[in-house]
Structure 1
C-alpha cells in the first residue's frame, strides 16, 4: 500500500482472516465485565417494550431457550438474516443468483505471484472464475469461485474437486492442501429498511 494513505487514515489496511480477527476480538473482550460472549446461540424472536427490546434466543445444541433485555439489537446475521425475516422487512434487487464455492487452502503462491503482490487476485478463465484472497501468500488463502451447479451439484463436491478447482485458479500444478470448502448463493439484493424500532440490521 502507498504510504501516502497515512495522510488520510491512521492505519494501513490489515488483511486478517475472519476467524483470526474474531478470536482476537474475543480475547480482547473476555475480561471486560460489560461483555458476555455466547457462541452457538440462535435468534428466535423479539418484541419492542418501550425503549427496550426483549430478544428470545435458543442454544443450538441443547435447544434450551431464554430471553434477554437490551436497549438495542444489532443483527449482523448476513444476507439471509433471521432477524430481518422475523421483522418482515423485504429486500429489493435482482431475483437471480449465482452459485459460489468458498475454498480455504494452503499453498505457497509466492513463486506464482512473484512481485505482483496484492490482497485480491482476480481469475478470469473458463476453467475457474472468481478471486483468491491472499491472507498469507506463503500458506493461507481463500478461493471464492463461481461454479456450475448443474454440472457439479453442491452435494457432489469433495476434496479432490475442490483441489482441482484451486489448481485451475492458480494455473499450474503444485502442492495444495484443501482445508475446507463450502457452497453458498450470491444474491444481488439489499434490504428496504435497516431499522425497526431499536433493532438494526
Structure 2
C-alpha cells in the first residue's frame, strides 16, 4: 500500500476533532498519504504545539495500521530505538512526534541518533492568514459560537498568528460569551476579553484610539 487518503477536511457542522489542511501543513499530509515511498518505515513529525500534530498522527496510525510515539523527547530513547527497528521488521509505519528534530533534539543514544539521521522529517509550520482564519472558524463552530467576517478580520489583525495564540483567543472568547450568555462574538465583547488576557498585540496607543 503506497497511498492513504485521510479524511482531513472538516464536514459542515462537524463537532468532532478534524485536521484542517492549509499551506502550513499540506506537505505533511502529502507525505503521510504516500508513506509507502518513505526510505524507511518511520518519519519524524515536528511542529509547534497545538498545531494538530498529535491528531493527524492518530488518524494516520489508525488508517495505515501503524504506530505513533507522541512527545518523543519525554520517551526513553531505547524505547524509540526498538520501535524504529520493529517498524522496519514488520513494515508498519512509525510516526515519531517531537518539538524539534535533531540536533535541536539532543539524542544521546548513538544507535538511535544514526537511525533518526536516516528518517524523513515532516514539518508543520505556524499558520498563514488563510489557515488561521479556517482554524478560528472551526474552533468557534465546535463551541457553537458565531463570529461575523468583520469580527474575524478584526481578530486576525490584532493577535499573534500562532496555534497556541489561536487556542488562547478562542478560550478567552468562549469564556466571555458564556459569561455574557450569548453565542455571538462581537468586537465590543472581544476587545476587553482579549485585552484582559494580554492577547492583543497592537500598541497601547492604537488600542486607546479604537476605544475612544
Please give the TM-score of this superposition, normalised by the length of structure 1. 0.27
Q: Which structure shows the higher helix fraction? A: 2
